A and B are shown apart, each in its own frame.
Chain A
Amino acid sequence: MDRIGVLLAAVVPALTILAAAVTKARADWRSEALWNAFFLGAVAAIGVGGVIGLAQMLLPVQVAPVGGAWAAGAAKALLNAALPEEIAKFALLVLIAERHVDVRRKQDLLPMAVAVSLGFAALENLFYLADVADWHSRAVLRALTAIPGHGVDGVVMGAMLTLARLPLPRRGTLVGTLALPVVLHAAYDFPLMAKEAGAAGPWPLGLWLAIITASGLLAAVLSTRALALAEVADRHAGTERRGGGVALIGVAVLGSGIVTAVLPIHLGELPWLALWGMLPIAILPLIFGVDLLWWWRRGRRRAGAAA
């Protein structure tokens, strides 16, 4: 039963966040392309682990950190995490997942990218949880931090890819589709890795809070813009889909953020987070809950205007 609990704790948070993206984009849970993307993301996690493991065995070079804890944190965040992970996700998204025959709408691109990202996150989560005796607290922490972090990267990648594929006068590029998630991913990991490397004081947590907030807001704004433009393109192409449940999911996500913000939770090895309350961790569900409710209200206003 414990092993089943580990599996569920690894996968359910990722699927919950994917539900928000699927609902907002009015995608179809039954789509083979969506599940394709999710499991390709998990394959990407294996790929990154395998390639990095092989590289470390072939080139066992230890680089001494130069420039102190902050520089070490930045280098590790970019080179060990952000670059390999986002490149792997981007490659599988653009070279395989996007080309699936069931991807017919421009609005499908965003949930596909989120699915790749969260498939990656789910398998990574499994490896993190399966190795520890007290996996419960780690599962809660990762469900509120690492998984949503990957979700944000996926939302941004999906939004940028959508903008790159739309026939716009000043459209995005594939370089931006990769570069922006790399920057956000590295920025997200940077304060945490700097703290691991010895950065002292409240600055790492404060910086992390600022980065989470900025990333979440950027993802919400970009995804709304991309989906609004994609909606128009799909309407012209005759591939628009009707969907519901945005308000319900929005309330659920916002509610989870509020509960997380006000309930102090014992975090085991990270008591300094408990001292700040759960605000840093609640930011993303708060942002995306509001974003979903705004999107729902926008849809109702447009439906009312059309009627």
Chain B
Amino acid sequence: MATNPALALCDDPDQQRVLADLSSFFGPRADRFLTLYDKMRERPLKKRLGVWSWNWMVFFAPFVWFFYRKQYLLGAAVLLTPIVLSVLIGGAGAGATVAFAMWANCWYVYGGLKRIAKADALGLAGEERAAYLQRAGGVSMVGGGIAGFLYLALLGLAILGAMAQQG
């Protein structure tokens, strides 16, 4: 069975390098995610993506946090999945938001590990490697701002829609 190169980094003998790379990737508030990474390392390989930790921002504004952290695919999935399911089958389940809030941090750390594995595959080193990880990770005020604007628009639409139905 092929080893997941990203999760295999948890067993890499040079953990100082992995931690330095993760710090470059996470940017602001890296400590929080490095702590989660340590918890992932304690688990067997198959259970590493099962580590959960609560993320209040994701609970209240799911896709905004992912866009702020430049995880646009995840953010799009978080936004689009309930809408698409609602259009197709009429309901998405309120549990989805709780699940996103529980596993967002773990998915984010995994995203960082995937990016490090890609940097290894590209043979990047030194300043070029750090620049690559910082550019891939960190935060985006623009992404967060756009997502925040969209969130407020959708929230406003939902509130006004509910008021119009009651009125």
Contact = CB atoms under 8 A, between A and B. Distances in A.
Interface of A: 3, 6-7, 32, 35-36, 39-40, 42-43, 46-47, 50-51, 53-54, 57-58, 91-92, 95-96, 100-101, 123, 126-127, 130
For the complex, would chain B's binding face be called helix, strand, loop or mixed by DSSP majority? helix
A237 to B, nearest CB: 15
Contact of A7 (B88, B154, B157): B88
A46 B136 contact: no
Contacts of B75: 43
B154 A46 contact: yes
Interface stretch (B15-23, B40-48, B93-101, B140-148): B140-148
B161 A57 contact: yes
Contacts of A91: 146
Contact of B156 (A3, A32, A54): A54
19 contacts: A36-B72, A39-B72, A39-B73, A42-B80, A43-B79, A43-B80, A43-B150, A46-B79, A46-B80, A47-B150, A47-B153, A50-B153, A51-B150, A57-B161, A95-B146, A96-B142, A123-B80, A127-B87, A130-B88
B125 interface: no
A57 B154 CA distance: 12
A46 B77 contact: no
Main DSSP-derived SS at the A contact region = helix
A32 B136 CA distance: 11
Contact of A92 (B73, B140, B146, B156): B146
B8 interface: no
Could you say which interface size class chain B belongs to? Answer: 20 to 34
A51 B154 CA distance: 7
B76 A43 contact: yes
Contacts, number: 70
B150 A96 contact: no
B63 to A, nearest CB: 8
A46 to B, nearest CB: 7
B149 to A, nearest CB: 8
A276 to B, nearest CB: 33
With a 10 A CB-CB cut-off, give which of B87, B132, B136 has the most chain A CB atoms.
B87
A50 B72 contact: no
B87 A130 contact: yes
B89 interface: yes
Interface string B7-33: 000000000000000000000000000
A53 B80 contact: no
A3 B142 contact: no
Nearest to A7: B88
Contacts of B140: 96
A53 B159 CA distance: 12
A96 B88 contact: no
Nearest to B133: A101
A253 to B, nearest CB: 28
Contact of B136 (A51, A54, A101): A101
